[in-house]
Amino acid sequence: MWLSELASRGGVSVATAKYYLREGLVPPGEAVGATRARYDQSHVDRLRLVRALVDVAGLSLDQVRDVLAAMAAERSPAAAIGAAHYRLSPPPPTEPSAAALDRVRALVADRGWQVDDDSPHLVAVASALDAMEAAGQPLADTGLETYAASAGEVAKVDLEAMVASAGPAGEDAATYAVLGTLLTEPVLVGLRRMAQEHQARARLG
């Protein structure tokens, strides 16, 4: 396909597609003559990924470049997913407390989750628990366990969809995971807000 079709199928303007190509965020097409190039489905997929990282995740182009490089550098799909995901949980403004880190590590161990000991998600969760404590609204163990159980159910569905749709190939699976994580987070967060709206009405209305 030509550039105009690539842009249209990627959901961006021709100017934006050109810009991403110039910045190296989307690899060059196959040159046809001096000024034209042909693109294929892999270019469309990459364009959609870049667009989601920018529009949905709010990453800067430098951060997008970093995520893409991390994905490309890994050999196994799981490692590529991990590397890409890690870029999505930036370090919190302040270090979490040792107590909160221990609490999250214990939760992960209890559930039998295989997670790196220095996973940025672990740090992000510990930091959020500290923030709740500081705001005078600590999260009780029962609450934390319900959250973890729900997150586990959701992640199972996510991985099933990923395996079914993208197959086990490296960057494809990682692309799917990053897109899937970013695009579904607003769904999950929005549904939970609606469920809270309902619960507030049913119990307090």
The residue from 1, 3, 61, 151 that contacts a second copy (CB under 8 A) is 151
Instruction: Indicate if the alpha-carbon torsion angle 141, 145, 148, 150 is positive or negative.
Output: negative
Element (H, E) at 63: helix 61-73
The reply on whether position 34 binds a second copy by CB under 8 A is no
The residue from 3, 115, 118, 171 that contacts a second copy (CB under 8 A) is 115
38 or 48: whose CB is closer to a second copy? 48
Nearest alpha carbon to residue 99 among 139, 147, 149: 139
The reply on whether position 184 binds a second copy by CB under 8 A is yes
Query: What contacts 167, CB < 8 A, 6 or more positions away?
Result: 173
DSSP assignment letter at 31 = E
The reply on whether position 110 binds a second copy by CB under 8 A is no
- Cα–Cα distance for residue pair 190/205, rounded to 1 Å: 21
The residue from 77, 96, 101, 103 that contacts a second copy (CB under 8 A) is 77
6 or 173: whose CB is closer to a second copy? 173
Please report how close the Cβ of residue 40 comes to a second copy at its closest, in angstroms.
Answer: 14
The reply on whether position 42 binds a second copy by CB under 8 A is no
